[in-house]
Structure 1
Amino acid sequence: MEYFHGAQLAHLYGWGGAPQCHCGICNGQHLARFSDSPDDVVAANRHNVATWLRWAEALQAARPGSERRRLWKDQCWEAVKARETISRQWRSAQSPTWPAALKVWATAAD
């Protein structure tokens, strides 16, 4: 649940070993492949939409109110746990700062 420029991901993963994405756009390609070329910008935007669309559809399918809030909280908590695992894989000595809202949403009282 974070946005990273392709070059930033490439740096974090030491220019190799970035995870694969299995969204409908990426089809298993690695996430650090995006550059500033016009074609890559279009592909990165399509990846972003495909990723968020999955979450939006799940949220819209949940009943409004506590069920939807709980689903969003759970999705944020999964992102927090994934970030902790992923940041250990980064070869960069300094991890980017966390999105402040992510932990707030993940730990918010219902």
Structure 2
Amino acid sequence: MSSEAFAILNAYGFPGNVREMINIIEYAFVLCSGGDILPEHLPRLMSADTLCPLKQARQSPYPQDVIGRQQLLDALISTQGNKAEAARMLGISRVSLYKRLGKYDIKTNKSVSGTD
């Protein structure tokens, strides 16, 4: 793992706790194809400009009014389709998550691959 990717992981608040961290590391491992995990292998939710400097676990990296299609997909991918965890990660209620899924016509099943 590169030092940059490690720094991003270390600075992220992990609102979904250990389970979310494991999902993100597995996600990055699949993308890195056997090499070092680099920042570009991490979900966009973890980019340097969205990190909370105080590691406030329940705080969303997105203002609630600008959560878009890609942020929803990234959250669903990093939580392996778990909508409750994705909502927590985004800092919104499950009801809001379902409304946004409908708004962006995102259909989910148990395995979320990022393409729908």
TM normalised by structure 1 equals 0.29
Structure with bigger gyration radius: 1
